[in-house]
Amino acid sequence: MSAARKLMEPDEFLVWCLDQEGRWELVNGYPIRMMTGATRKHDRLVTNLIVALRQRLRPPCDVFTDDVASRMSGGNLRRPDVTVDCGRGDPEGLESEVPTVFFEVLSKSTRNFDLLHKPEEYKQVHTLRHIVMVDPYAPRVWLMSRNTDDWASVDVIGLNATVDLPGAGVSLSMTDIYDGVDLEPDLMLTPP
């Protein structure tokens, strides 16, 4: 049985990943290779998010790429495109300590999974306050925020809008998120 087909515990998986090419997630105990080869548009959106967050976040919160894993309540390890972590984790650590906001930039190929399945899994992370799904084709963000006992969703639409993330103490302008991104509103993704 190859290592990628071997049932693993999360800590074992994180160490195993250090010697692997590409990025991997742990799903139901098995390593799953993540999709690679993001478009320039996808990468621009991720970069814009990181830059905007880095300029606004205050300690202990910080921003991380999908190189840092986030542990789900069922033992899965996921790698959101961007994570805001508000813990004072080990600088040599391989996973987020207090994940507070997850960002996913949608794509045509993973849109349904990202909109239907990931939020349900992400919502089980007890420290998480916001889930942000970014449409790459039009200035539209699906924002899910944890209230006292439940989650509320709102569509943020238009370049003049703001994405408010009080759980991390920041707001992001849509112009910062979409800076330098060619928009194609006729291809705007809609919830399934």
Compute the distance between CA of residue 13 and CA of residue 74 in angstroms, rounded to an integer. 15
Q: What is the pTM of this model?
A: 0.89
pLDDT, one tens digit per residue, over 82-101 is: 999 999 878 888 899 999 99
For residues 149-162, average pLDDT: 94
Q: What pLDDT score was predicted for residue 83?
A: 97
Q: What pLDDT score was predicted for residue 1?
A: 35
pLDDT, one tens digit per residue, over 41-90 is: 999 999 999 999 999 999 999 999 998 999 998 889 898 999 999 998 78
The pLDDT confidence band at residue 6, using thresholds 50, 70 and 90, is: confident
- For the chain, which domains are there? 37-187 (3.90.1570.10)
Q: Which residue has the higher pLDDT, 108 or 130?
A: 130
Q: Say if residue 192's pLDDT is above 60.
A: no
